[in-house]
Amino acid sequence: MTAPLRLAAVLLLATGLVAGCSSSDKTEAPAPSLYAIWDPYPQFDGSSDWVKLLQKCGTDAGVTVKRTGFDTTDLTNKALLAAQQGNSPDVLIVDNPVVSTLAEAGVLNPAPDTAGIEPNLLAAGQQDGKTYGVPIGANTLALYYNKDLLTKAGVDPAAVKDWASLTAALQKMKAAGKKGITFSAIGTEEGSFQFLPWFWGSGADLTELDSAQGVQALTLWTDWLKQGYAPNSVLNNTQTTSWQEFAAGNVAFAENGTWQLANAKKTGFPYGIIPIPAQAGGTAPAPTGGEFVTSPVQDDTKRYEISQKIIGCLTSADNAYTTDTTLSYIGATDAVQAKQVAATPELKVWVDAVRAAKGRTSDNLGTKYPKISEPMWTAFQAALSGSKSPQAALQGAQQTAATATK
Residue 18 has a pLDDT of 29
CA distances from 329 to 140, 179, 399 (A): 9, 29, 36
Superfamily of domain 3-138+290-356 in CATH is: Periplasmic binding protein-like II (3.40.190.10)
pLDDT tens for the chain, 406 residues: list them.
444 445 544 443 443 322 333 233 444 455 568 999 999 999 999 999 999 999 999 999 999 999 999 998 889 999 999 999 999 999 999 999 999 999 999 999 999 889 999 999 999 999 889 999 999 999 999 999 999 999 999 999 999 999 999 999 999 999 999 999 999 999 999 999 999 999 999 999 999 999 999 999 999 999 999 999 999 999 999 999 999 999 999 999 999 999 999 999 999 999 999 999 999 999 999 999 999 999 999 999 999 999 999 999 999 999 999 989 888 899 999 999 999 999 999 999 999 999 999 999 999 899 999 999 999 999 999 999 999 999 999 999 999 999 999 9
CB 239 within 8 A of CB 182: no
Residue 32 has a pLDDT of 64
Residue 366 has a pLDDT of 94
Contacts for 188 with CB less than 8 Å, ≥ 6 apart: 238, 377
CB 286 within 8 A of CB 199: no
For strand 134-135 and strand 126-127, is the pairing parallel, antiparallel, or unpaired? unpaired
Do the domains 141-287+363-404 and 3-138+290-356 match in fold?
yes
Decide which of 1.20.140.10, 3.40.50.300, 3.40.190.10, 3.30.1280.10 is the CATH code for 141-287+363-404: 3.40.190.10
Domain ranges of the chain: 3-138+290-356, 141-287+363-404
User: What pTM did the predictor assign?
Assistant: 0.89
Alpha helices, H only, 211-333: 212-226, 239-247, 261-264, 304-314, 317-327
CA 370, 230, 213, 138 torsion: positive or negative? positive
CB 42 within 8 A of CB 70: yes
Residue 327 has a pLDDT of 87
The per-residue DSSP string of 97-136 comes to HHHHHHHHTT-BPPPS--TTB-HHHHGGGEETTEE--EE-
Residue 31 has a pLDDT of 54
Residue 30 has a pLDDT of 53
Residues β-bridged to residue 273: 144
Alpha helices, H only, 304-368: 304-314, 317-327, 334-343, 348-356
**Integer Cα distance of 170 and 366 in angstroms:** 36
Residue 326 has a pLDDT of 85
Residue 73 has a pLDDT of 80
CB 190 within 8 A of CB 261: no
